Structure 1
């Protein structure tokens, strides 16, 4: 049987932190989900920059910790520990604090995606890693796991024919799929996606996203999917690894390149079997929330239905659309920006893709385009008032859709978010 080691990305290089304890910096709302999802169990201490958090207690994976001041870190040997930043909103500020207090003394893991649990055996990854075991159980894959393991390993060996003893495997967060990373000699080579056997009904209200249809549609994509090296009728996919963290989304040329990729996709002369309308995606999430007695803003929902559904219901699903165009689904491959994660690909309204990218940029970068300017870049001309109105309707529908996803996961009202959606609706009515 193989062995396991822990790696973090530190200053662009991989550092082996096997056997080290982790110092968690940041006691905000990301702390518990991060520890649970990553199964971090060798915790030295928890610190926070805010004095309001000091001396509070937090339970992480069954153990209780007292939140301490940042200067408590100096009590820990830098050769036996590393620092993990748990906050996303204050990451840069925390990095600055660490360097002011400790310089380069400690290894730093800046985010969840820079932490890797690495196995030398695929079998050990699938059967022992807590993240993978949980994903496999949830996906009802246990009974067919051995055949999947054999097929995946055989295919990987076809693409990596040399130095097979240098292979290693790490779990990844695959959302609705079981996903893992394949290394060779500490270089990330491939990502493997295994479909679960229980696609939830809210993802698939019309049952059009069957594995067979997905496979046939993926075959149709051809060179539009630039990283895929293998897919089959069971839904297993293997794609080349490409960097997602190195993209500077504050660079206007990068944004233009991303919109160019979407324009190329939307303009392709391909017809796919899978079809979905943005309105249906919103409705399926509302139905899910109501079925499980969750919180649904009924007045806001009624206005969305009246204004957006009324004007967008006749929009055709005429173009190939990616369907999940957020910043994490772009990567750099051979100095070219490419789309990844094609799970939602199908025939739909291209405005949904464009608005999703716009929303992701607005929420996660310093770029501040107007919606009109953004569509001007995409179209190559100034959009008409009719096109701009449709874009605004699609954008507010998207923001409401993203809010519904938040409600499904958290079941609690976000007053600030609802206020922003109401303001978007008022802007449309005032056009």
Structure 2
């Protein structure tokens, strides 16, 4: 894009943001130019900028996120992701205010759920994270988090879907059985879906760790699948890539249940975002469909164990 004047660029962001950029990167205000919005994320507001000739991304926390996200937990996980080589873009995050600066990766292409190499690397990254042995004092309990957001929802949002209570009851019925068979929690990303994979050639970085914390390993798999356009058979094939073998009947039930749990969480989250005046669009209906379908499939699998 054409480079604007320094004055126009400086005026396009608030002084506090400009100060954050300059103090983090060690540059002067006149070195910060070429601002442009980034529309990929659903949770936050981000923009690209250039400082001293290099491109970066600045992330601001989105509306209402202070009620559902621990920025300290995110900052911890971002540091771990950088050490593990899972996110090569991270520079700094303020653990209290939640703003973050990262490298902007030029020439990225979209993550493709039907690209064998992309999916294989994503599952490899999930295994690396889950088996890292790193523990965090922050946790992501998908059931407690869903319950917390449900308390924030008004009745009008719930009433928009006539099967809302039916899905909710099915999810809660499945929760008890799944909790009883869950293993020790591991560090998870918990927002493990396509916009958070930056693909450049054969290199992939996993970004945006704001929901990261100790969780059930299947939380990442459930989120990955419920944000896709997979058929049920394709979803099972992805689970096989993660396990590097066919899942056992118990593992299949566990993971399919987590597709429903993740879809239900993100559906409720989407309703909350809509209530806050920041709708997420078609994602909401996709998560509603997966919460319903995979909840039914999980109930069916109970009888096959």
TM-score (norm 2): 0.77
Q: Which residue of 1 aligns with 2:241?
A: 377
C-alpha contact 1:276 1:317 (8 A) present in aligned 2: no
In the TM superposition, residue 377 of structure 1 has moved relative to its aligned partner by 0.8
What are structure 1's unaligned runs of at least 5 residues?
1-6, 8-15, 17-116, 128-145
Q: Which residue of 1 aligns with 2:293?
A: 420
- CA-atom RMSD in angstroms: 3.5
Q: Distance in 2 between matches of 1:170 and 1:424?
A: 43
Give 3-state SS (helix, strand or coil) of 1:332's partner.
Answer: strand
What whole-Å deviation, never above 9, does each CA across 1:393-419 have from its counterpart, x for those lacking one? 1112222233333444568x9698376
**Which structure exhibits the higher relative contact order, with contacts defined as CA atoms closer than 8 Å and separated by 6 or more residues?**
2
Q: Which residue of 1 aligns with 2:22?
A: 153
Give 3-state SS (helix, strand or coil) of 1:238's partner.
Answer: strand
C-alpha contact 1:122 1:149 (8 A) present in aligned 2: no
Give 3-state SS (helix, strand or coil) of 2:132's partner.
Answer: coil
Question: Residue 429 and residue 193 in structure 1: after superposition, are their counterparts in 2 closer, same or farther (change >3 A)?
Answer: same
In the TM superposition, residue 340 of structure 1 has moved relative to its aligned partner by 0.8
Q: Which residue of 1 aligns with 2:75?
A: 215
Q: Distance in 2 between matches of 1:310 and 1:346?
A: 21
Give 3-state SS (helix, strand or coil) of 2:88's partner.
Answer: coil
2:90 to 228, 237, 248: 228
What whole-Å deviation, never above 9, does each CA across 1:336-367 have from its counterpart, x for those lacking one? 1110111111111111101211222325xxx8
What whole-Å deviation, never above 9, does each CA across 1:58-92 have from its counterpart, x for those lacking one? xxxxxxxxxxxxxxxxxxxxxxxxxxxxxxxxxxx
- Aligned pairs, how many? 283
Q: Distance in 1 between matches of 2:10 and 2:136?
A: 36
In the TM superposition, residue 165 of structure 1 has moved relative to its aligned partner by 5.4
In the TM superposition, residue 214 of structure 1 has moved relative to its aligned partner by 3.8
C-alpha contact 1:217 1:274 (8 A) present in aligned 2: no
In the TM superposition, residue 319 of structure 1 has moved relative to its aligned partner by 0.9
Q: Which residue of 2 aligns with 1:302?
A: 169
Give 3-state SS (helix, strand or coil) of 2:158's partner.
Answer: coil
In the TM superposition, residue 248 of structure 1 has moved relative to its aligned partner by 4.0
Q: Which residue of 1 aligns with 2:131?
A: 267
Q: What does 1:23-422 align with in structure 2 at a 5 Å threshold?
A: 120=6, 121-127=8-14, 146-158=15-27, 167-173=33-39, 175-183=42-50, 189-195=55-61, 199-201=65-67, 203-204=68-69, 209=70, 211-224=71-84, 225-234=87-96, 235-242=98-105, 243-290=107-154, 294-295=158-159, 297-306=164-173, 308-314=174-180, 315=182, 318-333=185-200, 335-362=202-229, 369-408=233-272, 417=289, 420-421=293-294
In the TM superposition, residue 430 of structure 1 has moved relative to its aligned partner by 4.5
Give 3-state SS (helix, strand or coil) of 2:205's partner.
Answer: strand
Q: For the pair shown, which has the larger CA radius of gyration, 1 or 2?
A: 1
Q: Distance in 2 between matches of 1:299 and 1:198?
A: 27
Question: Residue 348 and residue 192 in structure 1: after superposition, are their counterparts in 2 closer, same or farther (change >3 A)?
Answer: same
Question: Residue 193 and residue 422 in structure 1: after superposition, are their counterparts in 2 closer, same or farther (change >3 A)?
Answer: closer
Q: Distance in 1 between matches of 2:184 and 2:206?
A: 20
Q: Which moved more, 1:168-177 or 1:270-279?
A: 168-177
Q: Which has the higher helix share?
A: 2
In the TM superposition, residue 425 of structure 1 has moved relative to its aligned partner by 4.6
What are structure 2's unaligned runs of at least 5 residues?
276-283
Question: Residue 167 and residue 408 in structure 1: after superposition, are their counterparts in 2 closer, same or farther (change >3 A)?
Answer: closer
What whole-Å deviation, never above 9, does each CA across 1:246-286 have from its counterpart, x for those lacking one? 44442211110111111111111211121011212322233
Question: Residue 245 and residue 414 in structure 1: after superposition, are their counterparts in 2 closer, same or farther (change >3 A)?
Answer: closer
In the TM superposition, residue 368 of structure 1 has moved relative to its aligned partner by 7.2
C-alpha contact 2:139 2:213 (8 A) present in aligned 1: yes
Q: Distance in 2 between matches of 1:406 and 1:213?
A: 22
Q: Distance in 1 between matches of 2:5 and 2:129?
A: 37
Q: Distance in 1 between matches of 2:79 and 2:24?
A: 18
Q: Which residue of 1 aligns with 2:278?
A: none
